[in-house]
Amino acid sequence: MISEKLHEKIQVHVKFLQRYADRFWYPPLIGFLAALDNLVIIIPNDGILISSSMLIPKRWFIFALSVAIGSTLGAMVLAALVETQGLPWILDWYPGVSENKTWVLSKEFFEKYGLLLVFVVATTPLMQQPAVILASLASTPPLELAAVIFVGRFLKFLLMAYIGSHAPRLLKKMWGLKGELQDVGVKLK
């Protein structure tokens, strides 16, 4: 859980950032933030994508594509780091991750379902880092991992951006988004 002070800083920065949502460089920037989120885990990508699509509805598709590409690239950087540095690096970088409920569930499911788990996680609001780490530790071919992540993330972000731009009232019915939207200052009624 993010501290209240960090939560407020994120809101201020997102509001500042979104003043430029109509600029040509904005989609690559939110894509970069999606990539970075794979390493720092505090960037509310879903909220940024949805609120950006609400601000500039005609750009919903390019926003979704940019965030999906960025998220995939970030996941592949994480996978490459895990492959080269190994599990000890992960445990140093993400202290307590091996006790995290998502980690434990991901490990059990990855052993049973492999890339299907990565795809399912990529399409949901769940953290994708544990699934990517496990796939990398299992020596999953990078091209296969990238394809599965991209397809899952693109479907997820396409749906979110479309709903944000065309039917924002449906957002309150979508599981796992309330916190992300609050992080960027969107209040659901």
Q: Which range marks the domain in which residue 131 is found?
A: 4-19+26-183
Share of the chain above pLDDT 90, in %: 40
More confident residue, 115 or 174: 115
Query: Per the domain annotation, does 69 fall within a domain?
Result: yes
Query: Per the domain annotation, does 189 fall within a domain?
Result: no
Query: Per the domain annotation, does 52 fall within a domain?
Result: yes
- The predicted pLDDT at position 28 comes to 96
Query: Per the domain annotation, does 149 fall within a domain?
Result: yes
pTM, to two decimals: 0.82
- The predicted pLDDT at position 87 comes to 79
DSSP of 44-113: -HHHHHHHHHHHSGGGHHHHHHHHHHHHHHHHHHHHHHHHHH-HHHHHHHSTTGGGSHHHHHHHHHHHHH
- The predicted pLDDT at position 128 comes to 85
Helices 45-55, 26-40: crossing angle, 10 deg rounding: 160
- The predicted pLDDT at position 101 comes to 74
More confident residue, 77 or 108: 77
Q: Which residues contact 161 (CB under 8 A, 6 or more apart)?
A: 49, 50, 52, 53, 60, 61, 63, 64, 67
Q: What is the mean pLDDT of the chain?
A: 84
Segment 19-50, tens digit of pLDDT: 898 999 999 999 999 999 988 777 888 889 99
Segment 86-136, tens digit of pLDDT: 878 877 877 776 677 767 777 777 788 889 989 999 998 888 888 898 898
- The predicted pLDDT at position 172 comes to 65
Q: For the chain, how many structural domains are there in total?
A: 1
- The predicted pLDDT at position 52 comes to 92
Confidence class of residue 1 from pLDDT cuts 50, 70 and 90? very low
Query: Per the domain annotation, does 120 fall within a domain?
Result: yes
Query: Per the domain annotation, does 188 fall within a domain?
Result: no
Integer Cα distance of 71 and 39 in angstroms: 10
Query: Per the domain annotation, does 50 fall within a domain?
Result: yes
Average pLDDT over residues 2-22: 80
